[in-house]
Structure 1
Amino acid sequence: MRRRTLLGAGTAALGAGALTAAGWPALTRYIREGHPGTVLPSQTELPAPFRTPLPIPTVLEPTSTSATTDHYDVTQQHTDLEILPGLRTPAWTYNGTFPGPTIVSRSGRRTTVRHRNELDRPAVVHLHGGHTPAASDGYPTSLILPADGSYDAHRVHQDMSGGPHGSSMGHHPMDLTEGTRTYTYPFDQRAATLWYHDHRMSYTGAAVWKGLAGFHLVHDDEEEQLPLPRGDRDIPLMITDRSFAADGSFRYPALDPQLHTPGVTDTYMNGVMGDVILVNGAPWPVHRTQRLRHRLRLLNASNARPYTLQLDPQPPGGAAFTQIGSDGGLLATPRHHDTLDIAPGERFDVIIDFARYPPGTHVRLINRNTHGPAAQIMRFDIGSGSPHDDTTVPHRLSDIPRLDPGRATHTRDFHFRGSTAGWTINNTEYEPGRALARPRLGEVEIWRFTTNFHHPVHLHLNHFQVLTRNNRTIGAFDHGWKDTINLRPAEAVEIVTRFTHYPGTYMLHCHNLEHEDMAMMADFTTH
């Protein structure tokens, strides 16, 4: 479908009555400008950028280990954090920090994580990018109830009433545990940068906004044999945007400030964006670097904001970012970029050679997608020395088998739309337990995604390879194994995938978290 036709159809459908007068201007402006979301302004004075040192999330130590398995314990808890100088921010955290602690696992070695919920509401944990049995994938109604016994099934249903899923929840049994739940991750997958976050039905946007997100890194022999930067030169960077109230608390436009009724106000139904950029939980931080190659694991953990990342100034000769990995781990060969487009949920693993800059240079990481405070991300201050660098970026990184689309047994279409039904997939609001596809394990399939708005599409269970974008060759950022694909308005993408190992029910959804909460999800069941 041609771009004009698709946009016209989307506009007509949305104009038919899905939105109130307050919500419609934000979406029509979005169609015109091509941007997702609306900025929620902070109500407090914003700090000056590049004053706070970049925090590095703590690596969690296992509670115990065996010959085959590492066991971890994580507590979900209320914590007051100092994010803005001099103010306290009540947050929902993993082990008292935002981001949560980084968990490091080994490919081929099992990890179990026991989550204890000491929050005042239910929670779900999804390992984003994990090749995971269905029981541990973080299905949105597989809830960990608060440990204090304040919730039961009746209260869970009450919290859902009035929201986008209220009419469908009453007929679907939920998987409820009180206090704790143990997630098992076999890690029969290659090295990659994964992350874990809350995935509770209708409340994911609010929960992640309030702090429930952290890194989970997987290593393997192939990656470790490469002469890439490691140790303190291998840095995970969780990029998010947030807004703050006058007292320092997170500001979020929920319909119910107590978050017992799902949904956001109409103006923000296309996604919530903040005016403060946090990197690893710090506003516009600064990091002092040596004149050496550094590996940056970039994660867009924002609810709705996409970024176009660039270094300012660019190094001599350009090509500031050498991409070595994507969502699903190493690329076959490095790729060089002046800028990086990264949508919510996506990860890019890049090498930056700071030796290309003169000593004393201040190098900003900026966002070319916007102006104002959110146009700056962080700053790197280049040291004066010139130490020897024993790292390189090999011309060959990994052998990646290509899935053969000619062997596909099914081709399936998934249309991500704004319509009179709200945010839908194939004109259907999400209903737990209703599968839109039933792929067989081990078979190759082609899935086609089309959009009328901006939607970063995330697939659970297995990674995929991109075949085409808009019936042409793939984009600059579509290479390697992906689990999240950035679709702009009126785009179409074909992917090829093969689901393996685990039968059960999994998710396909938009990773704009407000879209996800407003029913832009679908089940698929492997067998």
Structure 2
Amino acid sequence: MNRRRFLGIGAAVVGAGAVGAVAVPSAARLLAEGRPGRLLPSQLDLPAPFQVDLPVPAVLKPVRTDATTDYYEITQQLARLEILPGLRTEAWTYGGTFPGPTVVARSGRQVAVHHRNELPVPSVVHLHGGHTPAASDGYPIDLVLPVGSNASAMAEAGGMPGMEHHAEASPGSTVVGDRTYTYPGTQRAATLWYHDHRMGYTGPGVWRGLAGFHLLHDDEEAALPLPRGERDIPLMLADRSFAEDGSFRYPAADADGPGVTTDYMNGVLGDVILVNGAPWPRLTVDRARYRLRFLNASNARLYRLELDPQPSGGDALVQIGGDGGLLESPIGHDALEVAPAERFDVVVDFARYEPGTSVRLVNRFGSDRAAEVMRFDVSTRTVSDDSAVPDRLSTIERLDPGAAVTTRTFSFKRSRSDGWTINNQPYQPGRALARPALGTTEIWRFFTDLHHPVHLHLDHFQVLSRNGKDPGPYDAGWKDTVDLRPAEAVEVLVRFTDYRGTYMLHCHNLEHEDMAMMADFVVE
């Protein structure tokens, strides 16, 4: 497939063109590789682990408030950050930091975030897990062009380099310089995150730094005796690779187009594990309970997180919440399997360790340096801890399968001719694969050939079954991303509420997403 056809096919099929421009690895080879992704090695000597302190992203302050709404401003900008000790890395950032600043919101209060794009590339912002009107959901061609761009001239010339396909794309909305995203806050407390969602370029956008936390609180959560304050810590896990000069290394298919080179079509894995933007950090903790909000913000890497050593008696990681907020009751785990975009809120009681113990957080799915994540150093000082994990956390409405008005099936597969597809179709903006009615409940059945974390915009869902059996150990509560292993089928129940419009269903392996594994659905 030549570049001319790549830019014009189906008005805007980014991924299909990128896949068609290179040879597609065989299914046998991808299956033989097991878990998704291919390692992109760094080109410099990596620092020793556990040498830097864990940073915690700053909380963004509103620029003003009124009776209903908190107003925030974020400038998307280039920044040179010291990620690896002694080196500077140019990053694409929200507000000059990676991760971006944390937005802390309250359920029932509206949040308006004004984004200004001072990057050299267009951007789109998606609040992942947000229950959001379509106009603020971050549809992948709702572009914010860089400040000073001439939208009319770019359209006449075919757009910015690599963005020619947007000139005729529909139903996207393009603005120059600024866009305000409005989030009503009509959902329960949860660990959300925001990230770039530009069609064909989400992978490099997130890889270069465009990600941040958005934490939502409510009265139900506040009434519980869970750890809080400095013992409530968001942890963004993200693997990256670096060039010899300290810059981010990423295997783009070409300098100005979407997609990756052939060897990395199944996802890009880095050999440096960053936690909140720091390589293999350490954190001194009291002998007390901590709430750890794990977010997998990696492009493709899976994690199986364990504490080493495990505390006596097991259940080291007590899960209290997931993508969509609190569970009904806590679930004890010895390990957590976390796919890209999933969140797990857990409580760890470091009082179960002797003073002075060093506890490593390890990734059993990783090898070599990617097997280490961070280290907790248990303090020798005596502290008080009045926190607890109640046996009952929340009441969750159980969706009724009998109320479902229809069952829809979505096949996530690699096509030899079209790359990564849903229902054998590469992504095309404006082509809806489903049109659910507002207020109805449906069963959506996802099945896969290889490994795909499936993400649904607008509404959280409940996992109904996995391969015709009960949900898995990590499927509890409200979810917005569900991890599907090769040849799996998962059924979920979803009720479409509040907002009509066009939304997205896609794989959250970002290289799969960029290379066409997305679909529109329209709530009518």
Question: Within 2, Cα distance between the matches of 1:109 and 1:80?
Answer: 35
Q: Which structure 1 residue ranges, 4+ long, deviate > 6 Å from structure 2?
A: 18-22
Report if the CA contact (8 A) 1:444-1:497 is conserved.
yes
Q: Residue 492 of structure 2 aligns with which residue?
A: 495
Question: Within 2, Cα distance between the matches of 1:372 and 1:112?
Answer: 43
Find the residue that maps to 2:138 and give its secondary structure. coil
Question: Within 1, Cα distance between the matches of 2:97 and 2:508?
Answer: 23
Q: What is the CA distance between 1:173 and its match in structure 2?
A: 4.8
2:394 paired with 1:398: yes
**Normalization by structure 2: what TM-score?**
0.94
Q: Residue 485 of structure 1 aligns with which residue?
A: 482
Q: What is the CA distance between 1:174 and its match in structure 2?
A: 3.1
The structure 1 residue matched to 2:212, chosen from 208, 211, 214, is: 214
Question: Within 1, Cα distance between the matches of 2:94 and 2:141?
Answer: 20
Question: Identity of counterpart residues, as a percentage?
Answer: 65
Q: Residue 434 of structure 1 aligns with which residue?
A: 431
Question: Within 1, Cα distance between the matches of 2:205 and 2:387?
Answer: 39
2:205 paired with 1:203: no
Change (3 A) 1:262 1:325: same
Question: Within 1, Cα distance between the matches of 2:34 and 2:463?
Answer: 23
Q: What is the CA distance between 1:202 and its match in structure 2?
A: 0.3
Q: Residue 309 of structure 2 aligns with which residue?
A: 313
Report if the CA contact (8 A) 1:114-1:180 is conserved.
yes
Report if the CA contact (8 A) 1:20-1:266 is conserved.
no
Q: Residue 79 of structure 2 aligns with which residue?
A: 79
Find the residue that maps to 2:234 and give its secondary structure. strand
Find the residue that maps to 2:182 and give its secondary structure. strand
Q: Residue 70 of structure 2 aligns with which residue?
A: 70
Q: Residue 12 of structure 1 aligns with which residue?
A: none
Q: Residue 16 of structure 2 aligns with which residue?
A: none
Q: Residue 350 of structure 1 aligns with which residue?
A: 346
Change (3 A) 1:155 1:106: farther
Question: Within 1, Cα distance between the matches of 2:508 and 2:252?
Answer: 18
2:418 paired with 1:425: no
Question: Within 2, Cα distance between the matches of 1:155 and 1:254?
Answer: 23
Change (3 A) 1:43 1:188: same
2:472 paired with 1:470: no
Aligned-partner residue type, residue 394 of structure 1: P
Q: Deviations over 1:104-162 (max 9, x none)?
A: 00000000000000001100000000000000000000000100226533466454469
Question: Within 2, Cα distance between the matches of 1:78 and 1:52?
Answer: 23
Question: Within 2, Cα distance between the matches of 1:154 and 1:479?
Answer: 50
Report if the CA contact (8 A) 2:155-2:167 is conserved.
no
Q: What is the CA distance between 1:28 and its match in structure 2?
A: 3.5
Report if the CA contact (8 A) 1:22-1:267 is conserved.
no
Q: Residue 24 of structure 1 aligns with which residue?
A: 25
Question: Within 1, Cα distance between the matches of 2:106 and 2:41?
Answer: 42
Q: Residue 13 of structure 2 aligns with which residue?
A: none
Question: Within 1, Cα distance between the matches of 2:465 and 2:303?
Answer: 22
Change (3 A) 1:121 1:482: same
Change (3 A) 1:42 1:390: same
Question: Within 1, Cα distance between the matches of 2:169 and 2:44?
Answer: 44
Question: Within 1, Cα distance between the matches of 2:157 and 2:348?
Answer: 50
Q: Deviations over 1:402-458 (max 9, x none)?
A: 000001001000000001211000000000001100001111100000000100000
Q: What is the CA distance between 1:23 and its match in structure 2?
A: 5.2
Question: Within 1, Cα distance between the matches of 2:317 and 2:480?
Answer: 21
Find the residue that maps to 1:402 and give its secondary structure. coil
Q: What is the CA distance between 1:171 and its match in structure 2?
A: 5.0
Structure 2 unaligned regions, length at least 5? 1-18
Change (3 A) 1:161 1:116: closer
2:109 paired with 1:88: no
Report if the CA contact (8 A) 1:355-1:386 is conserved.
no
2:296 paired with 1:266: no
Find the residue that maps to 1:72 and give its secondary structure. strand
Find the residue that maps to 1:175 and give its secondary structure. coil
Q: Residue 326 of structure 1 aligns with which residue?
A: 322
Find the residue that maps to 1:424 and give its secondary structure. strand
Q: Residue 246 of structure 2 aligns with which residue?
A: 248
Please report the RMSD computed on the Cα atoms of aligned residues, expressed in angstroms. Answer: 1.5
Q: What is the CA distance between 1:263 and its match in structure 2?
A: 1.2
Q: Residue 521 of structure 1 aligns with which residue?
A: 518
Question: Within 2, Cα distance between the matches of 1:120 and 1:418?
Answer: 32
Question: Within 2, Cα distance between the matches of 1:21 and 1:120?
Answer: 27
Residue correspondence of structure 1 range 340-419 to structure 2 within 5 A:
340-419=336-415
Report if the CA contact (8 A) 2:207-2:240 is conserved.
yes
Q: Residue 174 of structure 2 aligns with which residue?
A: 176
Q: Deviations over 1:139-195 (max 9, x none)?
A: 000000100226533466454469xxx5x9745353111110000000100000000
Q: Residue 142 of structure 2 aligns with which residue?
A: 142
Q: Residue 40 of structure 1 aligns with which residue?
A: 40
Find the residue that maps to 1:495 and give its secondary structure. strand
Question: Within 1, Cα distance between the matches of 2:448 and 2:158?
Answer: 32
Bigger shift: residues 508-517 or 378-387: 378-387
Aligned-partner residue type, residue 476 of structure 2: H
Question: Within 1, Cα distance between the matches of 2:366 and 2:213?
Answer: 26
Aligned-partner residue type, residue 25 of structure 2: W
Residue correspondence of structure 1 range 48-127 to structure 2 within 5 A:
48-127=48-127
Q: Residue 508 of structure 1 aligns with which residue?
A: 505
Aligned-partner residue type, residue 124 of structure 1: V
The structure 2 residue matched to 1:444, chosen from 413, 437, 441, is: 441
Q: What is the CA distance between 1:256 and its match in structure 2?
A: 2.0
Report if the CA contact (8 A) 1:159-1:262 is conserved.
no
Report if the CA contact (8 A) 1:169-1:431 is conserved.
no
Change (3 A) 1:407 1:80: same
Report if the CA contact (8 A) 1:451-1:490 is conserved.
yes
Report if the CA contact (8 A) 1:93-1:100 is conserved.
yes
Q: What is the CA distance between 1:496 and its match in structure 2?
A: 0.2
Find the residue that maps to 1:208 and give its secondary structure. helix
